[in-house]
């Protein structure tokens, strides 16, 4: 049963999202939306998987194609919809060609920057950054990761030590198995200071990291997105889905 009063807090136990609560309407503006918040320092989600984006004009045609292809993969395979910010939505992502590849996890509120440097302007890396945007951490940061990988601290570049820290709280998607093949799993020598491995698999024969820049979501990634956003539940209202066409590719 959907809650009778949409402003009344309710739990998501039914949908499997135990630990999430409903914060209520933020403002009365036309473009404001309720927020779902995780109780244990987790990220805020985007309501109904709708994420307005603005794209920096400095991306060239080929780079835009890679970004749109990533957005298209989300649209085709998940209930997440990145759509151009044609209305003044308060919360949105601004995708710009920064020095590095970077995104915060979840929805911060107001404008949040997604940086796509030269090294990550391929569809697979864009998907990785957009997964952070929708609320995903790296797979090797899971609280139970020590069963699956060994972190070789001595080989990690000092600037990236925190990329290997264990997440101190669980996410709903941690109920699904650890996934060596996730688009959110870094490779063996990621952020290495000396070209030696920074991550070692503990299961014989397991392969980590994205196989190539053509590797997109794993099957488990898709299941985890579905779980996090309760895509199949009656709470999920994809009311904006397909409302805005994918941007034409302008030079
Ligand atoms: Zn990342």
Tell me, in angstroms, the distance from the centre of ligand 1 to residue 233's CA: 28
Backbone angles phi, psi at 60, to 5 degrees: -85, 180
The CA 96 to ligand 1 mean position distance, Å, reads 16
184 in Cβ contact with 139 (< 8 Å): yes
At 213 the pLDDT is 57
Burial of 248 (0-12, 13-18, 19+ CB in 10 A): exposed
Confirm whether residue 83 is marked as ligand binding: no
| C-alpha to C-alpha distance for 125 and 145, rounded to whole angstroms | 22
CA–centroid distance, residue 232 to ligand 1 (Å):
27
Distance 17 CA to ligand 1 centre (A): 24
pTM for this prediction: 0.82
Compute the distance between CA of residue 131 and CA of residue 45 in angstroms, rounded to an integer. 11
Q: How far apart are the first and last CA of the chain?
A: 48
* Residue-level pLDDT at 212: 56
> What are the CA-CA distances from residue 198 to residues 129, 136, 137 (Å)?
21, 21, 18
Task: Find out whether 160 is annotated in a ligand binding site.
Answer: no
Res 58: pLDDT: 95
Stretches where the chain sits below pLDDT 70 are: 1-41, 209-214, 235, 237-251
CA–centroid distance, residue 129 to ligand 1 (Å): 6
What is the pLDDT, as a whole number, of residue 25? 38
Q: Are 48 and 230 in contact (CB under 8 A)?
A: no
The alpha carbon of 21 and the centre of ligand 1 are apart by a number of angstroms equal to: 26
CA of 167 to the centre of ligand 1 (A): 14
Q: How many angstroms is it from 90 CA to the middle of ligand 1?
A: 25
Q: d(Cα 240, Cα 251) in Å, to the nearest integer?
A: 27
Check whether 128 is labelled as a binding-site residue. Answer: yes
Cα-Cα-Cα-Cα torsion 7, 13, 18, 21, nearest 10 degrees, comes to: 0
Q: Give the pLDDT score at 1.
A: 38
pLDDT of residue 62: 94
Q: What are the residues facing 50 on neighbouring strands?
A: 81
- From ligand 1's centre to the CA of 48, what distance in Å? 23
pLDDT at 111: 94
Ligand 1 geometric centre to CA of 234 (Å): 31
Category of 203 on φ-ψ map: left (φ > 0), alpha (ψ -120 to 50) or beta: beta
Q: State the pLDDT at residue 8.
A: 36
Do residues 138 and 184 touch, judged by C-beta distance below 8 A?
A: yes
State in Å: Cα 235 to ligand 1 middle: 29
């Amino acid at each position: 049963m959907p809650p009778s009063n949409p402003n009344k807090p309710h739990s998501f136990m039914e949908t499997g999202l135990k630990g999430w609560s409903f914060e209520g309407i933020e403002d009365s503006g036309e473009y404001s939306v309720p927020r779902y918040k995780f109780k244990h320092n987790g990220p805020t989600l985007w309501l109904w998987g709708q994420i307005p984006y603005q794209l920096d004009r400095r991306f060239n045609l080929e780079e835009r194609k890679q970004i749109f292809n990533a957005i298209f993969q989300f649209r085709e395979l998940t209930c997440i919809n990145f759509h151009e910010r044609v209305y003044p939505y308060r919360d949105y992502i601004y995708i710009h060609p920064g020095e590095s590849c970077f995104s915060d996890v979840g929805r911060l509120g107001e404008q949040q920057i997604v940086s796509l440097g030269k090294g990550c302007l391929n569809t697979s890396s864009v998907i990785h950054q957009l997964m952070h945007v929708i609320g995903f951490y790296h797979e090797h940061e899971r609280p139970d990761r020590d069963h699956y990988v060994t972190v070789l601290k001595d080989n990690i570049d000092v600037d990236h030590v925190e990329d290997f820290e264990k997440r101190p709280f669980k996410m709903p998607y941690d109920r699904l198995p650890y996934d060596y093949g996730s688009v959110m799993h870094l490779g063996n020598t990621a952020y290495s200071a000396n070209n030696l491995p920074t991550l070692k698999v503990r299961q014989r024969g397991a392969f980590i990291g994205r196989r190539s820049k053509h590797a997109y979501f794993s099957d488990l990634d898709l299941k985890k997105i579905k779980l996090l956003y309760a895509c199949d539940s009656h709470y999920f209202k994809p009311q904006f889905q397909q409302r805005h066409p994918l941007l034409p590719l302008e030079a």
